[in-house]
């Protein structure tokens, strides 16, 4: 499996950073984990629209803002004869107005499907499964696994009662949010600190930790230095960076 970082910052994209998005590829199949604003700057159209499955972890706009752009691109390329198969888009089951709005999109060449914790998705020889994590709206950690490799994406989560220590057990790669530095104060337990992300990776015994979901104004090196104190094999999500998984 090969992973390309499309976006790593939140809650808005900046000059050198897009909102969350991670493109996984294996055997010409593509899985896009979240679809934040700005990620299309790192994508190659129409090639990376082919055999594409999009999985949205939760309906906060920094995680699905580019879906409208990709949807319209799919509509255009389909009418040009350059995209034959609909893009499948998986969304959390939610009564929110956002989900109703997204699934009513007309100018797109997409199929919208709702998922929950019981859902399993097959894309080629890859299996996608879900576990709900604590967050203000229904939010799911996502695991993508083949016979020999596995990636887990934390999505957004608080530390108390999060599912990652078990769900990501022995994963080849944990993509984990690190929204706050140790010194920053949180009003609620809705996101992780660098220390908490490192602790989760250590307890889950993952092989590698990819930290992400940074404030655009804060240098990424600060997140890296703090997290590496807890978990040494930590790397920082950088737009355009490609990571080989397993093998």
pLDDT 10s per residue in the chain (247 long)?
999 999 999 999 998 899 999 999 999 999 999 999 999 999 999 999 999 999 999 999 999 999 999 999 999 999 999 999 999 999 998 777 778 888 888 899 999 999 999 999 999 999 999 999 999 999 999 999 998 999 999 999 999 999 999 999 999 999 999 999 999 877 788 999 999 999 999 999 999 999 999 999 999 999 999 999 999 999 999 999 999 997 5
* Rg, Å, the chain Cα set: 17
pLDDT of the residue at 102: 84
Whether residue 209 contacts residue 233, with contact meaning beta carbons closer than 8 Å, is answered with yes
* Contacts of residue 216, Cβ cutoff 8 Å, sequence gap at least 6: 9, 12, 13, 14, 17
Query: What's the whole-model pTM score?
Result: 0.96
pLDDT of the residue at 241: 96
pLDDT of the residue at 237: 98
* Contacts of residue 206, Cβ cutoff 8 Å, sequence gap at least 6: 152, 168, 170, 171, 172, 173, 174
pLDDT of the residue at 99: 81
Q: Which fold has domain 2-242?
A: Metallo-beta-lactamase; Chain A (3.60.15)
pLDDT of the residue at 65: 95
CA distance 92 to 113: 9
pLDDT of the residue at 170: 97
Q: Which of 169, 151, 175, 153 is nearest to 246 (CA)?
A: 151
- Tally of helices (H runs) and strands (E runs) in the chain: 5, 14
pLDDT of the residue at 33: 98
pLDDT of the residue at 247: 57
**Per-domain residue ranges of the chain:** 2-242
pLDDT of the residue at 204: 98
């Amino acid at each position: 499996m090969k992973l390309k970082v499309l976006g790593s910052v939140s809650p808005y994209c900046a000059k050198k950073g897009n909102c969350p998005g991670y493109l996984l590829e294996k055997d010409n199949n593509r899985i896009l984990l979240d679809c934040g604003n700005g990620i299309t700057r790192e994508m190659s159209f129409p090639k990376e629209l082919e055999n594409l499955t999009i999985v949205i972890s939760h309906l906060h706009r920094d995680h699905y803002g580019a879906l409208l752009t990709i949807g319209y691109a799919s509509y255009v390329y389909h009418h040009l004869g350059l995209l034959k198969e609909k893009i499948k888009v998986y969304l959390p089951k939610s009564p929110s107005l956002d989900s109703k709005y997204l699934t009513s999109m007309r100018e797109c060449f997409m199929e919208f499907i709702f998922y929950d914790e019981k859902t399993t998705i097959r894309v080629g020889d890859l299996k996608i499964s879900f576990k709900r994590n604590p967050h203000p709206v229904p939010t799911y950690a996502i695991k993508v696994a083949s016979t020999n490799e596995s990636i887990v994406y934390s999505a957004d989560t608080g530390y108390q009662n999060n599912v990652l220590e078990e769900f990501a057990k022995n994963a080849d790669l944990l993509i984990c949010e690190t929204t706050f530095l140790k010194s920053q104060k949180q009003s609620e337990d809705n996101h992780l600190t660098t220390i908490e992300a490192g602790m989760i990776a250590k307890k889950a015994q993952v092989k590698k930790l990819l930290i992400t979901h940074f404030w655009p104004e804060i240098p990424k090196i600060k997140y890296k230095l703090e997290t590496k104190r807890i978990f040494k094999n930590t790397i920082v999500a950088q737009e355009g960076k490609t990571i080989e998984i397993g093998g």
